């Protein structure tokens, strides 16, 4: 099976948030706000928008020399479905989905945090297992110091993330 594409959902989410956006505005968004979490160039955006329109996820209207897109009912459904798809070990998607949540009261918020918590806990356990497995003695640590460092760093990173999520829940 081909790898799941993310761009269309990002576009859907962005247009949904703002109500209506042109291709140019979207490419500007990527230079600011969203740019911290995701990026796409205009040569990806324009054809993608055209495809999404053909698929019935968007409708367009011309205005002010720009083509603006709005999310259709079908598009809303597609976006909702994507938002509710289970998370995988991919922090970018977690960030994006969070980004698309507007209200603190949105029940999806807690759901996302809980999902991410579980994923990160599993990862933490895995990394801790690796540490024990690979670096059982001091000699191995000394002879693979960089590897040791980066593995312990990864563990601390996940711990920090878990703490943060637990804090928010």
Interacting residue ranges for DNA, rule: CB under 7 A: 1-3, 5-7, 22-25, 27-28, 39-44, 46-47, 49-50, 64-67
CB-based contacts of 67, cutoff 8 Å, min separation 6: 22, 23, 60, 61
How far apart CA 59 and CA 112 sit, in angstroms, is 29
Minimum CB–partner distance for residue 68 and DNA (Å): 7
Binding mask 103-122 for its own copies (x = CB under 8 A): xx-x--x-------------
In the region spanning residues 13 to 42, those forming contacts with its own copies, defined by CB under 8 A, are 33, 36-37
Name which position in 67, 95, 115, 121 contacts its own copies (CB under 8 A): 95
Determine the distance from the C-alpha atom of residue 23 to the mean position of all C-alpha atoms in its chain, rounded to a whole number. 21
Between helices 7-18 and 73-84, what is the axis angle to 10°?
120
Given 19, 86, 107, 146, the residue binding its own copies (CB under 8 A): 146
Burial of 43-60, coded b for 16+ CB within 10 Å and e otherwise, reads eebbebbeebbeeebbeb
Q: How far is the CB of 115 from DNA (least distance, A)?
A: 22
Q: Which residues bind its own copies (CB under 8 A)?
A: 33, 36-37, 95, 97-104, 106, 109, 127, 130, 134, 142-147, 149-151, 153-154, 156-157, 160-161, 164, 168
């Amino acid at each position: 099976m081909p790898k799941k594409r993310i761009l269309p959902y990002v576009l859907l989410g962005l247009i949904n948030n703002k109500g209506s956006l042109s291709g140019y505005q979207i490419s500007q968004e990527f230079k600011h706000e969203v740019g911290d979490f995701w990026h796409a160039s205009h040569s990806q955006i324009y054809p993608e928008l055209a495809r999404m329109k053909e698929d019935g996820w968007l409708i367009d209207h011309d205005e002010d020399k720009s083509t603006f897109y709005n999310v259709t009912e079908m598009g809303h459904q597609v976006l909702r479905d994507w938002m509710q798809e289970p998370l995988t070990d991919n922090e970018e998607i977690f960030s994006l989905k969070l980004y698309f949540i507007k209200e603190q009261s949105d029940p999806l918020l807690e759901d996302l945090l809980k999902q991410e918590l579980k994923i990160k806990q599993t990862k933490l356990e895995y990394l801790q297992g690796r540490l024990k497995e690979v670096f059982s003695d001091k000699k191995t640590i000394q002879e693979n110091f960089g590897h040791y460092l980066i593995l312990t760093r990864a563990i601390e990173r996940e711990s920090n993330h878990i703490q943060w999520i637990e804090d928010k829940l």
